[in-house]
């Protein structure tokens, strides 16, 4: 069967498994509606411990002053600004991935854009912490804003790139927030419509801004998304360009160079894609989303990492050439010192992690390996951190005056604060994954027929896609009705279920009114009765295993019984 223009041929599926539209909704909502799995708790516990350690270090810094850091008279700007630029760089790729891929209508954006946008927001929050702490008196942070003079006689210096940092980053954060929130509206509405508890329904109704799913809603949604994507894309370029001016406008050898703006932007995209890969590989596991964040997604991100890693490598070589060609001995010494001076090991780490390791992605076997991709994404993040460290520390520790040459070593407070922000980042992201859908289910549904594995197989076998995405549980007929055929096919499961919760004996027992349990209506009561469930006592014995068996027998509203806590309700009714 020839594919229509909506069903373009695909190379590799972007949605794995035999998914219907209903399955997509259930799978995306499950991490929000269900309980967290063991993997989620492990990652969350580690992140929380790191976050609390960081909080302790920040409190210690505020109490004792930034003398607790490893800074000295020559290197007065090192660890904190390294972390700041590193986090800003990571924050860039999130909105860039989402916005650029939206503008270019790339289908593989659908499953990853939400995580990428959230990454931007959480990473920029971490970045903002470092200038705040570095002030020594964070309660006076409002002085970086152009506030009226009635607050004092000080007026901000508009000539300083540090001030433009504030404007650029806050604007970028604002646009990213609106872009992210706009994309979430259909998913909030989906959670609102599925919620069974009144409080949850009200919260999600508030968050969805009255989304009704009308054609007008979708038209406005798409228009606003495109406008915001068009705004966010140049902002990504401007923010890191301005961050690079912090260095390039100085007279320090190794910093005073025009290559910094494009070099910083390429590096930011490189490190951002690496962090997106790290997050997606973790989230597909802890949220059971392997069918939506597929090998194809990971491979495409790896290709971007390989290309941007090559660009960064060219920038490193160009830097060396410019220093040599300039004929300025201070500039030449600065780069010689980077490669052969006391911090040669940091330079070697930077080159190995950022230039050589991404080249391994030329091999398809490696770039389609989940474990290797995760390893390389961590390696690149480490390498990009060392890139900023090398730029900052090697230029400062040996300046124009050999008499002031010194070395920089971080203290436990420096290290603890940085690790704390990593923990804080993952704590925010994991909590977000339990509250908001991390995949745009409405957008994934738009590519289900054209890029889903199941539909690809139907298309290749010559079958028709008409009605192929329809779910019998949610369209047509009576979804709550358990046919005799189904019962017969599920007889083993019914027996297992009744063995666990007990068999109803009509001669000695009286059937209860199961409709008293919230979530059980007349049709569901009929279904339960047809299986052999008649009493509160039977329902009260249900646990995870029995809920799953019930779902597999009825095939109706998976997870509903567990979410409504039928067992808990039945116990209260018995008492």
389, 307, 502: which is closest to 83 by C-alpha?
Answer: 389
> Which range, of 164-178, 255-269, 459-473, averages the lowest pLDDT?
459-473
Residue 250: beta bridge partners?
Answer: none
- Give the burial string for 67-80 (b: 16+ CB within 10 Å, else e): ebbbbeebbeebbb
Cα 57 to Cα 417: distance, rounded to the nearest angstrom: 6
Q: Is the pLDDT of residue 455 over 80?
A: no
Average pLDDT of the chain is 82
Give the pLDDT confidence of 121-174 residue by residue, as tens digits: 898 889 888 888 887 788 877 777 766 666 666 666 777 777 777 888 888 888
Residue 115: closest CA among 423, 367, 421, 437: 437
- Looking at residue 30, its pLDDT comes to 82
The position carrying tokens 């469930």 is: 533
Task: Look at residue 466 in the predicted model and tell me its pLDDT.
Answer: 64
CA neighbor of 29 nearest in space, from 154, 169, 196, 259: 196
Other Cβ atoms closer than 10 A to 252: 15
The 3-state secondary structure of 357-409, one letter per residue: HHHHHHCHHHHCCHHHHHHHHHHHHHHHHHHHHHHHHHHHCCCCCHHHCCCCC
Residue 436: how many other CB atoms lie within 10 Å: 19
Question: Burial code of 365-374, b = ≥16 C-beta within 10 A, e = fewer?
Answer: eebbbeebbb
pLDDT at 4: 43
Nearest 5°: phi and psi at 204?
Answer: -70, -30
CA distances (Å), 453 to each of 456, 460, 461, 484, 575, in order?
Answer: 5, 11, 12, 31, 50
Token reading at 317: 């070589």
pLDDT tens digits for range 192-238: 888 877 888 888 888 888 888 888 888 888 888 888 888 888 887 88
Task: Please state whether 98 falls in left (phi above 0), alpha (psi between -120 and 50) or beta.
Answer: alpha
Assign 252 a pLDDT band (cuts: 50, 70, 90): confident
Name the DSSP class of 352.
Answer: I
pLDDT of 476 over the 60 cut: no
Say whether pLDDT at 485 is over 60.
no
3-state helix, strand, coil in the chain (%, to 5): 70, 0, 30
Residue 360 CB-density burial (10 A; 0-12 exposed, 13-18 middle, 19+ buried) = middle
pLDDT bracket for residue 306 (50, 70, 90): very high
Angle (nearest 5°) at CA 268 between 267 and 274: 90
474: helix, strand or coil? coil
- Write b or e for each residue in 542-566: b if 16 or more Cβ atoms lie within 10 A of its Cβ, otherwise e: beeebbbbbbebbebbbbbbbbbbb
Query: Could you identify the residue written with the tokens 């890029």?
Result: 451
Cα–Cα distance between 474 and 531 in angstroms, integer? 20
Strongest mean pLDDT among 46-50, 136-140, 204-208, 547-551: 46-50
CA distance 63 to 224: 46
Does the predicted TM-score (pTM) go above 0.85? Answer: no
- What are the backbone dihedrals phi and psi of residue 465, each rounded to the nearest 5 degrees, phi first? -85, -5
Beta bridge partners of 15: 452
- Given pLDDT bands bounded at 50, 70 and 90, which one contains residue 575? low
The residues, any chain, with a CB within 8 Å of residue 50's CB and separated by 6 or more, are 419, 420, 422, 423, 424, 426
Least confident range of 201-210, 278-287, 553-562: 553-562
**522 vs 279, which has greater pLDDT?**
279
**Cβ burial, residue 161 (10 Å; 0-12/13-18/19+):** middle
Among candidates 210, 204, 184, 209, which has minimal Cα distance to 192?
204
pLDDT at 470: 61
Residues contacting residue 239 through CB under 8 Å, at least 6 positions apart: 88, 92, 168, 169, 172
Query: Which of 237, 104, 119 shows the shortest CA–CA distance to 179?
Result: 119
Average pLDDT of the segment spanning 6-16: 65
Contact 497, 531 (CB under 8 A): yes
Contact 242, 165 (CB under 8 A): yes
Cα 449 to Cα 455: distance, rounded to the nearest angstrom: 6
Selected residue with higher pLDDT from 324 and 467: 324
Tell me if 118 sits within 8 A of 184, measured CB to CB: no
Of 1-10, 24-33, 101-110, 329-338, where does mean pLDDT reach its minimum?
A: 1-10
What's the rounded Cα separation, in Å, for the pair 28 and 5? 27
């Amino acid at each position: 069967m020839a594919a229509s223009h909506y069903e373009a041929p695909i190379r590799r599926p972007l949605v794995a498994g035999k998914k219907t539209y209903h399955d997509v909704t259930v799978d995306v909502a499950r991490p929000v509606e269900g309980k967290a799995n063991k993997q989620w708790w492990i990652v969350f516990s580690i992140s929380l411990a790191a976050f609390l350690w960081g909080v302790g270090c920040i409190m210690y810094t505020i109490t004792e002053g930034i003398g607790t850091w490893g800074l000295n008279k020559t290197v007065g700007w090192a660890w904190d600004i390294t972390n700041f630029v590193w986090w800003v760089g990571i924050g860039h790729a999130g909105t860039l991935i989402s916005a650029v891929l939206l503008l270019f209508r790339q289908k593989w954006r659908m499953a990853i854009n939400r995580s990428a946008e959230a990454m931007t927001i959480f990473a920029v929050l971490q970045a903002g912490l470092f200038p705040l702490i570095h002030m020594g008196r964070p309660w006076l942070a409002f002085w970086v804003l152009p506030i009226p003079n009635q607050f004092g006689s000080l007026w901000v210096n508009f000539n300083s790139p540090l001030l433009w940092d504030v404007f650029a980053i806050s604007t970028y954060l604002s646009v990213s927030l609106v872009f992210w929130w706009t994309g979430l509206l259909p998913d909030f509405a989906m959670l609102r419509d599925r919620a069974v508890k009144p409080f949850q329904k009200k919260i999600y109704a508030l968050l969805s801004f009255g989304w009704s799913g009308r054609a007008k809603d979708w038209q406005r949604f798409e228009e606003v998304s495109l406008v915001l994507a068009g705004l966010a894309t140049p902002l990504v370029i401007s923010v890191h360009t301005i961050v690079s001016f912090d260095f390039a406008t100085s007279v320090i050898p190794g910093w005073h160079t025009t290559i910094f703006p494009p070099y910083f932007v390429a590096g930011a995209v490189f490190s951002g894609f690496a962090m997106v890969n790290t997050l997606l590989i973790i989230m597909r596991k802890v949220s059971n989303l392997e069918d939506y964040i597929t090998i194809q997604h990971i491979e495409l991100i790896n290709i971007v990492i390989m290309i941007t890693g090559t660009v960064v490598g060219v920038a490193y070589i160009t830097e060396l050439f410019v220093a040599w060609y300039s004929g300025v001995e201070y500039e030449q010494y600065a780069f010689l010192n980077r490669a052969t001076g006391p911090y040669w090991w940091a330079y070697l780490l930077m080159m190995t992690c950022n230039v050589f390791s991404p080249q391994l992605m030329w091999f398809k076997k490696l770039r389609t390996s989940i474990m290797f991709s995760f390893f390389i994404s961590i390696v690149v993040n480490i390498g990009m951190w060392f890139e900023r460290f090398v730029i900052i520390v090697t230029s400062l520790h040996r300046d124009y005056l050999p008499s002031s040459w010194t070395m920089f070593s971080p203290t436990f407070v420096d290290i603890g604060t940085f690790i704390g922000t990593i923990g804080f980042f993952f704590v925010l992201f994991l909590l977000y994954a339990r509250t908001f859908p991390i995949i745009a289910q409405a957008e994934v549904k738009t590519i289900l027929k054209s890029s889903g594995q199941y539909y690809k197989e139907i298309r290749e076998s010559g079958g028709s896609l008409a009605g192929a995405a329809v779910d019998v549980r949610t369209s047509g007929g009576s979804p709550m009705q358990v046919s005799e055929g189904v019962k017969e096919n599920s007889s083993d499961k019914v027996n297992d279920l009744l063995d666990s919760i007990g068999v109803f004996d009509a001669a000695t027992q009286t059937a209860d009114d199961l409709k008293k349990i919230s979530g059980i209506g007349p049709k569901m009561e009929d279904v339960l009765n047809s299986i052999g469930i008649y009493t509160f006592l039977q329902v009260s014995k249900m646990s995870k295993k029995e809920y799953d068996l019930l779902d597999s027998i009825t095939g109706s509203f998976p997870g509903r019984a567990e979410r409504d806590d039928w067992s808990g309700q039945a116990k209260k009714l018995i008492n």
